[in-house]
Chains A and B, each alone.
Chain A
Amino acid sequence: MRAYSSILSYTILCVLAVAASKYGILNAYLQLILMYVGINIILSTSLNIVNGYMGEFSVGHAGFMAVGAYVASILSVMLFAGSSIFGPPILPPSSAIYLFPVTLVAGGAAAALAGLLVAIPSFKTRGDYLAIITLAVNYIVKSSVENIQPIGGARGFMGMRNVIDSMQKVINLPWIMIWVLICVGVTVWIIHRFVNTTYGKGIVAIRDDEIAAEIMSINTRRMKIVAFMLSSGLAGVAGGLFAHVLGYINPGTFTIMKSTEVLVMVYLGGMGSLSGSVMSAIVFTLALEAFRPLGIVKWVVVPLLLILLMLFRPEGIMGHRELPDVFPKLRKLFKSYES
């Protein structure tokens, strides 16, 4: 039972959150914050795989989020909601209630494929050079979307709200919140399992010494592909969720600003620390909301905090450690830490 106690605790928290949303204890604003926290957790943990555990420098994470957002939204609208571009829905809107995850998976898969655009150059380049490539991929995605007029181009794409509404007509629950919470749980579960196996530790070996990794029988190319695709695929899922939370997306959301936000979360939490990324996503999202009254000054304060972070605690909140390393009593909750 111990192995499942963390999953159980999380499930209980989710049920409470959903119940609180349905019965109005959490108002719409707080629900939105909670969903943003969830999406940011997925984004920062997924970027941590590549930037933290594998030690690469990927600065274009928002590009993969955009791919996932657009693919999931277009599919979702095409299948479940009518629109002027695609015509009437292909499937009955009520089927969205059990087929919605398909759009998220499709968004994730498309983003994972886009991840190959970065994975393959990573065979030959590292560090700053790879960073430039990832930045370029971010812009390629954004500019491509801007130039595809049928899906709105720079004006954006909408219609996802109808899909969520049709789900709520069948059973009245805050569906998008449920899906965000499920995806956060699945994401953290997958990443935790991946990095705690001998197979997953191969990417840490690549970070520490790639040449030694190569000679010690690790197929570094395959590991890089796995890591990049996992990272960008999860970012795509986050993008799909983001699109459905907002109901409207445009390419302007997925620029280097967004990528930088995710980078900050990863560095704030500690590279190579999963619990660090989760905590920093929560702290960062809440802090950003707390600074909202400052208006445009927020964008001075946040980068300033990043500078202070890099000066005084560059390893982030958790450094390379995980929560059970700092609080050994928590080991009871996490079975993998028994050697």
Chain B
Amino acid sequence: MALLQIEKLTHLFGGLRAVSDLNLVLEGGELMGLIGPNGAGKTTVFNLVSGFYRPSEGQIRFLDQDIRGMRPHEVTALGIARTFQNIRLWNSLSVFENLCVSQHHQLGCGFLQSVLRTSRFIKSERRVKRTAQELMDLLGLRHCALEIPKNLPYGLQRRVEIGRALSLRPRLLLLDEPAAGMNPGEVDRLIELILWIRDEFKLTICLIEHHMRVVMSVCEKMKVLDFGETIAEGRPDEIRQDPRVIEAYLGEEEPGHAGGI
């Protein structure tokens, strides 16, 4: 049973066909990349999977459960976590609090227990804080635990975002352009981080990325979208030679120029 199965997924925004007949199968432990020019529909796919939109047509099954139409926090509770293209950390809360509050669903306590501070509440808070501290240690964020995210360098903010997604204990992690805005040093560390968390947390990861170095180093298989349609899929070395992919990114090849990304 595949972890994630997407069949004939199509989504329309009015007359605009953002995603067209997408088929995707992800097995546990895989590292997949979703690439394509801007506007190709990649983030829409993520939004459909995470529950922000209900697909116009097609099926999305996670662990063999139909997740179309579920609200985002329900999809998250099933085991899918995602990060955003623009960092969406909570800037009134410290890094530590960000990592705690994302465990909201796992609290097991409601209003009454929180106000009355029952023993169940105390145990839950202890567990949440311990998880947040472990994540900070693993991701090298201890030194900025009490900082608010917007005061941190971009690379660290990304790391906090990934940490926040990890605190949800997901099976599937969707990373939306994690290398956006990073300098080469930060990109190297990101590549290491992604490979490491896949092994350490036994995750399946699907990545949207424009940064070719990240995609080529990290992904085991890739899918290329353009105008909502799948134009190529396969291993990274196959994709980089594919003329359709080259055309989508760079335009038609002019005579006398070498191809390749």
B partners with A: yes
Cβ of A198 and Cβ of B92 under 8 Å apart? no
Cα distance A314–B195 in the bound complex, in angstroms: 47
Measured CA separation A129–B24 after assembly (Å): 40
**A115 interface residue, CB < 8 Å from B?**
no
Apart from A200-B114, A201-B97, A320-B92, list 19 A-B contacts with CB within 8 A. Answer: A193-B114, A194-B111, A198-B101, A198-B103, A198-B104, A198-B128, A201-B100, A204-B93, A207-B92, A209-B88, A209-B89, A212-B84, A212-B89, A217-B73, A217-B76, A218-B101, A219-B104, A220-B73, A339-B96
Considering only CB atoms, which chain B residue lies closest to A206 in the complex? B90
Cβ of A211 < 8 Å from any Cβ of B? Answer: yes
Contact call A272/B92, Cβ cutoff below 8 A: yes
> Is the CB of A281 closer than 8 A to any CB of chain B?
no
Question: Which of A193, A208, A230, A272 is close to B90, meaning CB atoms less than 8 Å apart?
Answer: A208
Interface contact A217-B102, CB-CB below 8 Å:
yes
Chain A positions near chain B (C-beta within 8 angstroms): 190, 193-194, 197-202, 204-205, 207-209, 211-220, 226, 230, 272, 320, 339
Contact A215 B72 (CB under 8 A): yes
Contact residues in A for B110 (Cβ distance below 8 Å)? 199
Which B residues lie at the A interface, using CB under 8 A? 50, 52, 71-73, 76-77, 81-82, 84, 88-93, 96-97, 100-107, 109-111, 114-115, 117, 121, 124-125, 128, 146, 164-165, 168
**What's the minimum C-beta distance from A107 to chain B, rounded to whole angstroms?**
20
Main secondary structure on chain A at its contact with chain B?
helix
CB-CB nearest in chain A for B168? A217
Cβ-neighbour of A214 out of B72, B92, B117 (below 8 A): B72
Bound Cα distance from A197 to B101, whole angstroms: 9
Cβ–Cβ contact A199 & B111, under 8 A: yes
Q: Which 9 A-B pairs have CB atoms at the shortest separation, nearest pair first? A: A217-B105, A212-B88, A208-B90, A216-B102, A197-B114, A199-B114, A217-B76, A218-B104, A214-B72
- A216–B117 CB distance below 8 A: no
Provide the bound-state CA to CA distance between A216 and B82, in Å.
Answer: 8
Please give, as numbers and ranges, the residues of chain B lying within 8 Å of A193 by CB-CB distance.
Answer: 114-115, 117
Residue of B nearest to A196 (CB): B114
